[in-house]
């Protein structure tokens, strides 16, 4: 393999580390945020910290995509160079959009960008699913099974991330309960949200571990 491939592999490992490390921080902060009896202002402060930490895995995930495609191309996968270049451009644009969404707070354009972000996630899911299916069906396919399976795993990671996003949105419903004086109802909603989010997070980590195993060991 060339030196550039080794640098790409190094970047891939670093991005994985920032993704999983920051995800653990988000997971622990979510537990603190959902503690019974915690004052609402304190919950909001923890929430703000959680969202700052969550920016790291978001950027890392978006960075892993073009790095992974470039590695696959240099490894010998039959990927057209223009497609890989397009992935790089799309990933950089998506990272910029994620930064604008994060630092834009509740400004009007952010709501529009959030809809674009959701569309991009759905498109990413459809793209990986189609690519895996297409490679599986091609006669005389030269793509190894481990790489096809990794595409399926990445598609599952995208789905799980969308589920986590839904659970994250339930925070506002809990805050509305607290604002209405229904402290018990707000805390119950937070407990349910925390339990569901914890399950989705564990699934995410298992999928990420599987993707890493497939890429490192190449068992199939």
| Residues 161-202 pLDDT 10s | 888 888 887 787 888 888 888 888 888 888 888 888 889 989
pTM as predicted: 0.82
| Residue 108 confidence (pLDDT) | 61
Check: CB of residue 16 under 8 Å from CB of residue 64. Answer: yes
The secondary element (H helix, E strand) that includes residue 170 is helix 145-179
pLDDT at 14 over 70: yes
Q: Where are the domains of the chain?
A: 3-217
- Lookup: tokens for 122: 């759905």
User: For 76, left (φ over 0), alpha (ψ -120 to 50), or beta?
Assistant: left
- Lookup: tokens for 6: 């080794």
Check: CB of residue 177 under 8 Å from CB of residue 116. Answer: no
Compute the average pLDDT of residues 10-32.
87
Kindly report, residue by residue over 36-63, the tens digit of the pLDDT: 888 888 888 888 888 889 899 889 989 9
> How many residues in total does the chain contain?
220
| Residue 91 confidence (pLDDT) | 93
> CA–CA distance from 39 to each of 36, 43, 48, 198 (Å)?
9, 6, 14, 22
Kindly report, residue by residue over 58-117, the tens digit of the pLDDT: 899 899 989 988 988 887 777 778 888 998 999 999 999 999 888 876 666 777 888 888
13 vs 1: which has the higher pLDDT: 13
């Amino acid at each position: 393999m060339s030196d550039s491939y080794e640098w790409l592999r190094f970047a891939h490992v670093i991005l994985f580390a920032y993704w999983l490390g920051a995800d653990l921080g988000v997971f622990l902060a979510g537990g603190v945020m959902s503690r019974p009896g915690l004052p609402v202002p304190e919950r909001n402060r923890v929430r703000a910290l959680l969202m700052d930490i969550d920016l790291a895995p978001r950027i890392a995930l978006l960075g892993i995509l073009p790095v992974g495609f470039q590695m696959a191309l240099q490894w010998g996968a039959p990927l057209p160079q223009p497609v890989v270049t397009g992935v790089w451009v799309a990933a950089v644009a998506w990272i910029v959009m994620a930064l604008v969404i994060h630092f834009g707070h509740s400004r009007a354009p952010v709501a529009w960008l959030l809809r674009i972000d959701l569309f991009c996630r759905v498109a990413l899911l459809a793209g990986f699913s189609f690519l895996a299916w297409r490679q599986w069906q091609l006669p005389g396919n030269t793509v190894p099974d481990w790489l096809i399976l990794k595409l399926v795993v990445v598609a599952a990671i995208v789905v799980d991330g969308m589920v986590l996003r839904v659970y994250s949105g339930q925070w506002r419903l809990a805050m509305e309960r607290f604002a209405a004086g229904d402290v018990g109802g707000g805390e119950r909603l937070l407990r349910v949200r925390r339990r569901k989010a914890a399950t989705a997070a564990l699934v995410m980590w298992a999928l990420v571990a599987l993707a890493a195993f497939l890429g490192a060991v190449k068992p199939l």
